[in-house]
Structures are given as structure tokens and as C-alpha cells.
Amino acid sequence: MGWMIMIVAALLVIGLFAVRSTGWKTVLASSGGNADELETKCAYLKSNNVKCRIQSEVAEQAGITAQHNLNGGNYSTVKLYVHKKDVERANILLEQFERDARAMQW
């Protein structure tokens, strides 16, 4: 009986992750060192009423633990997710953001 409860609980967790991620699309991804740039872009999108979020994904490589990577390894990927209904608008705004950033450099 206990193993059935564990299986049901595992299926519920998997289902929640599946439902939670179905409404979001990755629009940008970068190595962990460039997280600030993605956070700036996410803040820009939010200021223009686009639903977005940042998520860091840490990978285990060559026997190095994920905990080590969190403490300074270069094996993480940072992703900028946008709600699926806002993807087209987000891409337009991000292009504008890049144009404005280039113009400010001159």
C-alpha cells in the first residue's frame, strides 16, 4: 500500500511540473556568468507588461556535483522564459532593447 502512495505522489509531482511548464517558452538562454543581462531583459519585459521569469539550470558534468557548480562552477545555464501568449511581443521588445542598447554605446 505504501508503494502505491509513493507512485501516486510521484505522478502528481511530475504532472505539476508538466502543467507548470506548458505555459512558458524559452526565449533566451545564456551561461551562468551572463545572468545579470537576462535579469535586466526580464525586468524590461515586465515593465512592458510581459509575463516572464528567469530560471537557472545546473548540470552535473565530469563527476562534479551540482552543489559545486552552484558555488562557482561554469556549468549552469540561465534561461529567460516568457508566457506563451506573450512570446511574439517579447521578441519585438527584446529587439527594441538591443537596438536601444547599441544606440547608447555610440
Instruction: Give the model's pLDDT for residue 87.
Output: 96
- Are the beta carbons of 77 and 29 closer than 8 angstroms? yes
**Mean pLDDT to the nearest integer, 83-96:** 96
Residue ranges covered by each domain of the chain: 24-105
- Are the beta carbons of 80 and 52 closer than 8 angstroms? yes
Instruction: Give the model's pLDDT for residue 66.
Output: 47
Classify domain 24-105 by CATH architecture: 2-Layer Sandwich (3.30)
**pLDDT tens, position by position, 39-79:** 999 999 999 999 999 998 776 555 544 444 444 555 588 99
